[in-house]
Structure 1
Amino acid sequence: MGMGASRTSVARGDTDTPLLDETIGANLERTGRVHGDRTAFVACHQGVRFTYAAFDAAVDDLAASLLGMGLVPGDRVGIWSPNYVEWALVQYATAKIGVILVNVNPAYRTHELTYALNQSGCRVLIAAPSFRSSDYVDMVASVRADVPQLERAVFFWTDEWQSLRAPAPPAAIDRVRSVSAGLRPDDPINIQYTSGTTGYPKGATLSHRNILNNGFFVAEGLRYTEHDVVCVPVPLYHCFGMVMGNLGATTHGACVVYPEAAFDAAATLRALESERCTSLFGVPTMFIGELAALAAPEFAELDLSTMRTGLMAGSPCPVEVMKQVTSTMHMPEVGIAYGMTETSPVSTQTATDDTLDRRCGTVGRAAPHVEIRIVDPNTGEVAPIGTPGEFCTRGYSVMLGYWDEPEKTAQAIDAEGWMHTGDLAVMDDEGYVNIVGRIKDMIIRGGENVYPREIEEFLYTHPAVADVQVIGVPDERYGEEIMACIKLADSVDPATVTAEDIREFCRGTIAHFKIPRYVSFVSEFPMTVTGKVRKIEMREQAIVDLGLQSAAAIRNA
């Protein structure tokens, strides 16, 4: 991957393997014909297993029932559920008949649900009845009057759901095949709402070509075959789960394993052993949790000998965590991928034979059939090698646009087709990319650009630090000051580590203007359900805790 880097920060992934020119339904059928007897999906927490032949047949039955409801290609159907095998059935059934699946975050409550259903125009919602503190049945009932286009809500495991799962007559299956044959790879098939920090989320609209190929090439990068068993504890409503997990596996005849409905470190470790998994996906916080869980007596004899590879993505990965996963979890070929929902999601990925330093210190090179470049966010000019700038990408993976929001689409995708990510990145002379932060997260202290990721990576080398997030907070003198929010390792007595200890650790090793003025010891970070740290929320809380309201007022004036 990533050939063609030049002295400017421009590169293009290789094109030796052609793009898949088919729909998701056609690809699943092809996999089913070749690997019908192989296991396709395992839901450990449900005690459910599907072979490819059985899964494809169940998808056809459900697709026939959806057509029987009066749905037609281009209609929208919402899915609101944590990780159950039913989620995958709905994903592939809607794709097979050209119905656009609208992913609804399981953490949403009534306000966000109403927005997503109305903005996308969902005719049908399919959901779990409840999960943890979320009573989905009650919430749907409470919003029905505010969602006039919603004609029907169906809940898993009810009689109504079971009737949709019932074997369809031959004529209904023939209709599924007829509708499927009329679909095209560039048809929209999925709407995923991005977790915006201001305003309402935007519905990234993705095609068969977008997500089928992205899943396929991510799996190619991990060297998947039909013998791989892929553990997917990440949420299915997100690209990481449904594209890199599900589609990456099914395009290769590999097996998908769901350990639990939501992330549980111990359940994930048990699934790795019991299902003889070869690959594991997760955001860094998940891997941190799994490494901590491995210390429990329950897992003293855990057999991870079948493990080989996997991916960390979703947020920057601490180098020390990557090194521990490689050795402790028996994942010598674990890699890093970088992307965003709007790019299906992966734009760069490390290779399994990259050095550990490359896999720890970069997000890899341009993915196949993807162009990347790094530009000065102020001038739009392509940055020289080694100079930070905004990461932009172009190619098959760029979304069709934001659903029903052409102006926001035009702000994100320029006239030449480049998706502007808002991420700050640096490219080296071999085309490897390092993400150094978000444009909006970059700290400007007294005129110096400070990248939080650099300081975080340094602080991870402190033996007492388990996790750390660096943010900028308002300052009347410098404009912004640096604050480090630190989670101490479980083995560390909090009374033995002070803020001054942390600053002293930095002195003489990193530049003076990068040393955190403020150090806070915390037990947790505010997180999204996909494992991303909400730095804006941390900054807002710090302003209150540190009494920086007057500095904030000056900065925002």
Structure 2
Amino acid sequence: MSETRLTSSYARGASEPRLLNKTIGQQLSETAARFGARDALISRHQGLRLSYQQLLEQSQQLASALLRAGIAKGDRVGIWSHNNVEWVLLQLATAHVGIILVNINPAYRTSELAYALNKVQCKALFVMERFKTSDYLGMVRALAPELETQGSDALQIEALPDLRLVVWIDVAGQGQEQPGMQRFSRFIASGDAADPQVAQIGATLTPYDPINIQFTSGTTGFPKGATLTHRNIVNNGYFIGEAMRLTEEDRLCIPVPLYHCFGMVLGNMACMTHGAAMVYPNDGFDALTVLETVQAERCTGLHGVPTMFIAELDHPRFAEFDLSSLRTGIMAGSPCPIEVMKRVVSQMHLSQITIAYGMTETSPVSCQSSTDTPLDKRVSTVGKVHPHLEVKIVSAETGETVAPGQSGELCTRGYSVMHGYWGDEAKTREAIDADGWMHTGDLATMDAEGYVNIVGRIKDMVIRGGENIYPREIEEFLYTHPQVQDVQVVGVPDNRFGEELCAWVIVKAGQSLDAEALRSYCKGRVAHYKVPRYIEFVKAFPMTVTGKIQKFKIREAMIESLKLDVSQTA
């Protein structure tokens, strides 16, 4: 019997299996009871391995240490670090006792760090020592010179008035002492995994309690703190894992950052709700260590944004590695090029890789393909709506739900929608309407079967000579050129046509390509107004730590390079 075909761009997810009504701590305890001896967490760069029972006990010990340091249920604790075991322990420890974890972007610098800590009144900050050229402890000292003269257990910092504790992530007791700060190894040792306070406070928590704040990456102004609950995170992680068909036999390679939902929910929580192993190849992304880790740990799953998969596929040593253990994973974070998906399936053995779509404010996934989604739909859409959620595509002009195949703004409603923006009711009301719909700002279409395709961001749409042009359509076409490794298309101001198209292109290693050859490739294959006027060949794109391309920076760079007069454009 064929499925009912939709008559409007609205879809409701399945009602089974039922939503999980538990906290993160309860979920971890249940997983440890079932799979206690199995690998839970493998951090290759740290040489550390924890079973689920060890993960439970060490996170409970850290929870006890937090309580003994005067951090209470409802307080906010920041984590400013790349991927490591300590990050996960803090994620779980805070959840055990109702402390709200605040994810701080490792790309932040002093002004952004101060903003984030003060916006949510963080009482404690956990921070890594350094990463590449980033001296995190140095930046903390620049904000808080008082650390040099104050004891680590009685901080009074003018620039950070709520901060009472700074813990630096050391390497097993190594390294010099840091004035005014405590070592992580010594701090966790001050707790007790059997501390009765941990269980007593845990018993007072509900799945609806806020447990995590993630700052959304805005292109202008300061970011907003999307506040998520246990219910948001546990259920989203569970249904993500269900779409991947995760079991306790799976080992998921997680090279995406933990400070973002991709690592913390699509990675950690998907594994923790299914007893699968979390495998970290490195503290930051490196294509070679990902390939080495997949082979060494016999990983069955691999996550990444498109740029990560491209870097892995095009690594000079790619052919040396045995990736035959791979089965599933997720490509997400930005629109997934069809040609890249095809290569991932055929060359990396990821026959059951899925595409996921969402945003931080929806915990994050709203739509996902499954392992049995037909390949043509898997490479060209973001799948269907998740269980217990609703999605619709609405007209920007009228707000009405559009017909299948028509583009409009994608909206999401259901358990995954955030608690709100921390301390900002006005912004929350702007994002979530009176009927509970989260307005994503993404342009999308939905076909009659319910498959969703993300066309682009509303703000990225290019209007040229009265024509609406979606950059992703042009990007998908340019990816088919045999010399193109990666490409991004933006609109830049033009007095005659409103906007002109600009393509930034990364050419495959060892290959050559010029602008005229690329334009010739376009002629006769796409409409003339879709052929980019400006073509720049670059080595990399400006992007966030999570691998999201910052198109606004490409546009700004072109305006500066071309010396365009923005004031004269509409």
Scaled by the length of structure 1, what TM-score is found? 0.96
Q: Quick check: 1:80 aligned with 2:93?
A: no
C-alpha distance in 1, partners of 2:236/2:403? Answer: 28
Once the two structures are TM-superposed, the CA of residue 82 in structure 1 deviates from its matched residue by 0.4
- Taking structure 1 as reference, are residues 5 and 90 closer, same or farther at Cα in structure 2, changes over 3 Å only? farther
Structure 1 residues 226-375: aligned runs within 5 Å: 226-293=248-315, 295-296=316-317, 299-375=318-394
SS in 2 for 1:290: helix
Question: Pairwise CA RMSD of aligned residues?
Answer: 1.3
Out of 420, 424, 434, which is 1:405 matched to? 424
Structure 1 residues 391-430: aligned runs within 5 Å: 391-430=410-449
C-alpha distance in 1, partners of 2:324/2:477? Answer: 32
C-alpha distance in 2, partners of 1:241/1:4? Answer: 35
Aligned residues: 545
Structure 1 residues 514-529: aligned runs within 5 Å: 514-529=530-545
Instruction: Say if 1:4 and 1:11, in contact at 8 Å, map to a contact too.
Output: no
Instruction: Say if 2:104 and 2:215, in contact at 8 Å, map to a contact too.
Output: yes
C-alpha distance in 2, partners of 1:534/1:169? Answer: 44
C-alpha distance in 1, partners of 2:534/2:5? Answer: 40
Alignment match, 2:567: 553
Once the two structures are TM-superposed, the CA of residue 4 in structure 1 deviates from its matched residue by 7.2
C-alpha distance in 2, partners of 1:5/1:143? Answer: 58
Out of 501, 505, 508, which is 1:489 matched to? 508
Instruction: Say if 1:61 and 1:164, in contact at 8 Å, map to a contact too.
Output: no
Aligned residue identity for 2:281: P
Q: Deviations over 1:9-38 (max 9, x none)?
A: 000111110011000000000000110000
Q: Quick check: 1:164 aligned with 2:183?
A: no
C-alpha distance in 2, partners of 1:302/1:198? Answer: 42
C-alpha distance in 2, partners of 1:443/1:83? Answer: 37
Instruction: Say if 2:65 and 2:192, in contact at 8 Å, map to a contact too.
Output: no
SS in 2 for 1:482: strand
C-alpha distance in 2, partners of 1:176/1:316? Answer: 42
C-alpha distance in 1, partners of 2:547/2:191? Answer: 39
Alignment match, 1:206: 228
C-alpha distance in 2, partners of 1:167/1:138? Answer: 26
SS in 1 for 2:382: coil
- Taking structure 1 as reference, are residues 5 and 113 closer, same or farther at Cα in structure 2, changes over 3 Å only? farther
Alignment match, 1:537: 553
C-alpha distance in 2, partners of 1:487/1:305? Answer: 29
Out of 139, 160, 176, which is 1:147 matched to? 160
Once the two structures are TM-superposed, the CA of residue 518 in structure 1 deviates from its matched residue by 1.5
Once the two structures are TM-superposed, the CA of residue 378 in structure 1 deviates from its matched residue by 1.7
C-alpha distance in 2, partners of 1:269/1:184? Answer: 40
Aligned residue identity for 1:389: G
Aligned residue identity for 2:96: K
Out of 190, 198, 223, which is 2:212 matched to? 190
Once the two structures are TM-superposed, the CA of residue 161 in structure 1 deviates from its matched residue by 1.8
Gap runs ≥5 in structure 2: 145-157, 174-181
Gap runs ≥5 in structure 1: none
SS in 2 for 1:553: helix
C-alpha distance in 1, partners of 2:115/2:506? Answer: 35
C-alpha distance in 2, partners of 1:246/1:169? Answer: 24
Percent identity (aligned): 55
Out of 526, 532, 546, which is 1:510 matched to? 526
Once the two structures are TM-superposed, the CA of residue 547 in structure 1 deviates from its matched residue by 2.7
Once the two structures are TM-superposed, the CA of residue 555 in structure 1 deviates from its matched residue by 2.0
Alignment match, 1:456: 475
Q: Quick check: 1:31 aligned with 2:31?
A: yes
Aligned residue identity for 1:271: T
- Taking structure 1 as reference, are residues 554 and 77 closer, same or farther at Cα in structure 2, changes over 3 Å only? same
| Stretch of structure 1 that moved more, 503-512 or 306-315 | 503-512
Alignment match, 1:91: 91
C-alpha distance in 1, partners of 2:355/2:567? Answer: 39
Q: Deviations over 1:170-228 (max 9, x none)?
A: 7x621100100100001000000011001100000000000111111001000000000
Scaled by the length of structure 2, what TM-score is found? 0.94
Q: Deviations over 1:222-279 (max 9, x none)?
A: 0000000000000000000011100100110000000000001000111001111000
Instruction: Say if 2:60 and 2:192, in contact at 8 Å, map to a contact too.
Output: no
SS in 1 for 2:379: helix
- Taking structure 1 as reference, are residues 4 and 155 closer, same or farther at Cα in structure 2, changes over 3 Å only? farther
